[in-house]
Structure 1
Amino acid sequence: MVTKNKQYLLYGGSGHAKVIAECIEANHQLVGGVFDDNPDSKGLKNLPFLGEYKIKNHNHPLIVAIGDNKIRKMIVEEVKNLFGSICHPSSCISPTVKIGEGTVVFHNVILQVDCVVGSHVILNSGASIDHECSLGDFVHISPKATLCGNVKVGEGTQIGAGATILPGIRVGNWATIGAGAVIIRDVPDFAIVVGNPGRIIRYYEPANNKFWPFGESIRTK
């Protein structure tokens, strides 16, 4: 997953970017600089601050270091650049796993045999993904979440910290699974699910927009 002999560039200067930078450095690679469109941003300590991203093809692989799935998707679709992926060396990844571009795998993540991970996915600290799981693009698996075998997660979905998804469950696109939820049945697109056992409390409102797959408004079940 590491692009050898190249520096990485980061888009975003938040705490999430700090963890990605640490993953890069733990692989004995370099962070060549940090872009941030926020005019008040000063970048990350001890790393070159490159200011606002200019749309051009830089020579170094870029990682979009934005935790929000919707914003990450928007930026990726605007940027014209080689994307890099990075995995912290403490992660345990089967050699049969496939990982897409722009994806980051944080400390102590477990990825078991024949998992397929899409592009620009975040696998956060201590997440456990068992055999034959499939994660769509722009998914975020939060710290300590557990996906049992053969779970399918659709594009842009957020799995909350400490959530558990039982074997064979299908979770739709742009859904949100609350922290600590236990998912025992399939979850439709745009659903917001909480509790043990998980229950749908409301839905995001779908939107026909190039960048924003749903609006900020929500509807009740």
Structure 2
Amino acid sequence: MDNLLILGAGGHGKVVAETAMLTGRWNNIAFLDNDNTLNRVLGIPVIGDFDTYLDHKKTYSNAIVAVGNNRNRHVWLTKLEKAGYKIPVIIHPSSIVSKFSGIESGTVVLANAVINANASIAQGCILNTSCTIDHDCVIGKGVHISPGVNVSGTVTINDYSWLGVGAKIVNNITIGSNAIVAAGAVVISDIPDSVMVAGVPAQIKKSFGDEL
């Protein structure tokens, strides 16, 4: 078994760390975090800040990023990969993942999530607690699917978008990149890039341009 370095010791980092422990895949786990007041989190040592990532390669062959900002998460995954770290997929033992699905490196699948047949999940996604991704969906890089989200079949969600808690996406929808779907929204039509939608049915409430 290898050792695992987790960048980010906040709330999401705690969940990723516990999920990693439950898999039994790593001998040792450590955090990097930019809060220099932290020494240990969940009993796991915090051994430096993010910028020290190159110093730990000899001890920690695997690394993953546990930060909520979708773009920042992907930027750091790219740095780790270029530095020669192995970037794993971390899947909670209680989740249900079809053997016919595909999940790229740096993605975490958390407790009770379901990924059905022929779903394709790109690098660095968060598939959070009890979300469901149905058949033939395509999820772009750095996407965050929040707890309790239901994504119906043949949905495409493009890079860096974020679906809030309990959102529901009907079949055959495309959601653009850098989009935000508010908590509880029901999406029944395509969503363009760089907007926030909310409501039932979901409607555009704000445009972001390229600021996300």
Report the CA distance between 1:161 and its aligned residue. Answer: 0.6
Aligned length in residues: 204
> Structure 1 length as normaliser, TM-score?
0.88
Aligned partner of 1:36: which letter?
D
Could you say which residue in structure 2 is the equivalent of 1:129? 133
Kept in 1: contact 2:39–2:45 (CA 8 A): no
> Structure 2 length as normaliser, TM-score?
0.91
Could you say which residue in structure 1 is the equivalent of 2:168? 164
Aligned partner of 1:118: which letter?
A
Could you say which residue in structure 2 is the equivalent of 1:153? 157
Change (3 A) 1:13 1:88: same
Cα distance in 1 for partners of 2:23, 2:11 equals 19
Change (3 A) 1:55 1:17: closer
Overall identity of the aligned pairs, in %: 31
Could you say which residue in structure 2 is the equivalent of 1:21? 17
Cα distance in 2 for partners of 1:104, 1:55 equals 20
Could you say which residue in structure 1 is the equivalent of 2:197? 193
**Is 1:69 matched with 2:66?**
no
Could you list the per-position Cα deviations for residues 135-194 of structure 1 after superposition, in whole angstroms to 9, with x for gaps in the alignment? 000000000000000000000000011000000000000100000000000000001000
Cα distance in 2 for partners of 1:141, 1:193 equals 15
Could you say which residue in structure 2 is the equivalent of 1:92? 96
Report the CA distance between 1:26 and its aligned residue. Answer: 1.1
Cα distance in 2 for partners of 1:193, 1:41 equals 37
Kept in 2: contact 1:8–1:84 (CA 8 A): no
Could you say which residue in structure 1 is the equivalent of 2:8? 12
- SS in structure 2 at match of 1:51: coil
Cα distance in 1 for partners of 2:34, 2:78 equals 16
Pick one of 13, 30, 37 that aligns with 2:34: 37
Could you list the per-position Cα deviations for residues 102-132 of structure 1 after superposition, in whole angstroms to 9, with x for gaps in the alignment? 0000000010000000001000000011000
More moved, 123-132 vs 28-37 = 28-37
Report the CA distance between 1:74 and its aligned residue. Answer: 3.1
Could you list the per-position Cα deviations for residues 81-101 of structure 1 after superposition, in whole angstroms to 9, with x for gaps in the alignment? 321210001000110110010
More moved, 190-199 vs 38-47 = 38-47
Kept in 2: contact 1:62–1:83 (CA 8 A): yes
Aligned partner of 2:16: which letter?
I
Report the CA distance between 1:9 and its aligned residue. Answer: 1.1
Aligned partner of 1:74: which letter?
V
Aligned partner of 1:186: which letter?
D
Change (3 A) 1:39 1:48: closer
Kept in 2: contact 1:142–1:159 (CA 8 A): yes
Could you list the per-position Cα deviations for residues 7-60 of structure 1 after superposition, in whole angstroms to 9, with x for gaps in the alignment? 211001101111111111111233421111232333413112211232427242
Q: Is there any run of 5+ residues in structure 2 with no aligned partner, and where?
A: none
More moved, 44-53 vs 176-185 = 44-53
- SS in structure 2 at match of 1:125: coil
